[in-house]
Amino acid sequence: MDLSREYFVTHLECGLTGVPYEAGVVHGLSEAGRPLLVRYDLPALRDAVSRETFAARPASLWKWRELLPLADFSNRLELGEEATPILPLARTAARLGARALLVKDEGRLPTGSFKARGLVMALSMAKELGIAKIAMPTNGNAGAAAAAYAAAAGIEAVIFAPEETPEINIREIAAYGARVYRVNGQIDDCGKLVAAGKETQGWFDLSTLKEPYRIEGKKTMGLELVEQLGWRVPDVIFYPTGGGTGLIGMWKAFAELEAIGLIGPERPRMVAVQAEGCAPMVRAFENGERHAVRWDDPATIASGIRVPQAVGDFLILDAVRESGGFAIAVSDDAIAEAVTAVARDDGTLLCPEGGATLAAYEKALRTGLVGPDEEALLFNCATGLKYPLEDQSRRLDRHQPIDWSSL
């Protein structure tokens, strides 16, 4: 593989105010307290890369390296960030009377979730910038991905998780050598601990969108899906939205792809999917607001989207509105039913957050928010194997006579 590359980052800028910041130095939030976005020399990129440039490379996240923030590509961490498949949910589509229903199955990434995309970039940049210790709050998957890439980078990691975080996530984080604490609170309470300990502990705050590079990693979902669909976008994307990194990242990806001439002005409608027990973006969308009020007492089985408040709220809501999309909430019962149905019908085990996108799609079809002729792409963000599954086993005593007709 040809690893020669040019570095196209020009600067960073505040996502709210547009104030520029220097690249190549450690940054957290902007002075306005909002996420920083990485900016590239897009005219130069337009001359330097083509569809063929990317098509000729192995199907990995790192194929997009000219559109990624590493100054020295040898600082990249690699645990096998393969492109994830887009699978047709043929029987589910037929059951719902839809023309085309697709799912991008992100559960195949390292640590079993798409948090790997964001955290491989954040930790690779942390390594490049000489950061020795990180801390972050997590509902489970982000902490696991951070811990794995921190281990790969030789960076110390301290992780804070709400008490109710699934056991498997806590154990996985510890297995990678990170120190993990269960905290009697929600993810934003954990985030406050990370901020509060910064001075005495000297760690870097790797919270969602509080450092600039997770968006760049998550952006590769947008780049990848466009290439996989033959350099076009689907009609509508259903994204399970917590902190919104992926939705914001994909929206940025489409803009960059257009600016460098790889797609036209067409965009998918972006749908932010949340759970009825934690739907701050849906409430803000419906109230016509650009910033979302914290959701009190959040509760849902879809832990990845149990995020009561997001620092990038306006970036999520702007993208949803600009795209002509919408925000929609679904019940935990509908989520569980969707997971069960698609596993049986199409052989794909969604995580609850992925199930939420299917439940939202069904609801949107029923209420006419999407049409049966629209091509919809759902996101399954983690492997269903990381979540508790219902015990549906039966017992068989091999020492007793077996009534074969009853099996």
Q: Build a one-symbol-per-residue string for 283-322: x at contacts with ligand PLP by CB under 6 A, - elsewhere.
A: ---------------------xx-----------------
**Interaction of residue 112 with ligand PLP, rule CB under 6 A:** no
* Shortest Cβ 207–ligand PLP spacing (Å): 11
* Shortest Cβ 104–ligand PLP spacing (Å): 12
Phi-psi category of residue 20: left, alpha or beta, with phi > 0 → left and psi -120 to 50 → alpha: beta
Say if residues 170 and 180 touch (Cβ distance below 8 Å). Answer: yes
For residue 197, the number of C-alpha atoms closer than 13 Å in the C-beta half-sphere is: 19
Q: Choose, by CB under 6 A, the member of 162, 212, 243, 355 that binds ligand PLP.
A: 243
376-397 burial, b for 16+ CB within 10 Å, e for fewer? bbbbbbbbbebbeeeeeeeeee
CB atoms within 10 A of CB 42: 16
**Interaction of residue 382 with ligand PLP, rule CB under 6 A:** yes
Q: Residue type for 315, please?
A: L
**Interaction of residue 143 with ligand PLP, rule CB under 6 A:** no
Q: Residue type for 166, please?
A: P
Residue 5 or 290: the one with the smaller Cβ distance to ligand PLP is 290
- Map the footprint of ligand PLP across residues 341-370, applying CB under 6 A: 351, 353
257-273 burial, b for 16+ CB within 10 Å, e for fewer? beebebbeeebbbbbbb
Neighbouring residues of 331: CB distance < 8 A, sequence distance ≥ 6: 275, 276, 359
- Map the footprint of ligand PLP across residues 245-274, applying CB under 6 A: 245-246
Q: Choose, by CB under 6 A, the member of 242, 268, 355, 384 that binds ligand PLP.
A: 242
Query: Which H or E element spans position 11?
Result: strand 9-14
Q: Choose, by CB under 6 A, the member of 84, 169, 241, 323 that binds ligand PLP.
A: 241
Q: Choose, by CB under 6 A, the member of 63, 65, 115, 267 that binds ligand PLP.
A: 115
Q: Residue type for 397, please?
A: D
Segment near ligand PLP (CB under 6 A); pick from 34-42, 79-87, 242-250, 287-295: 242-250
Residue nearest to ligand PLP (CB): 304
Residue 242 or 325: the one with the smaller Cβ distance to ligand PLP is 242
Residues that bind ligand PLP (CB under 6 A): 113, 115, 141-142, 208, 240-246, 304-305, 351, 353, 381-382
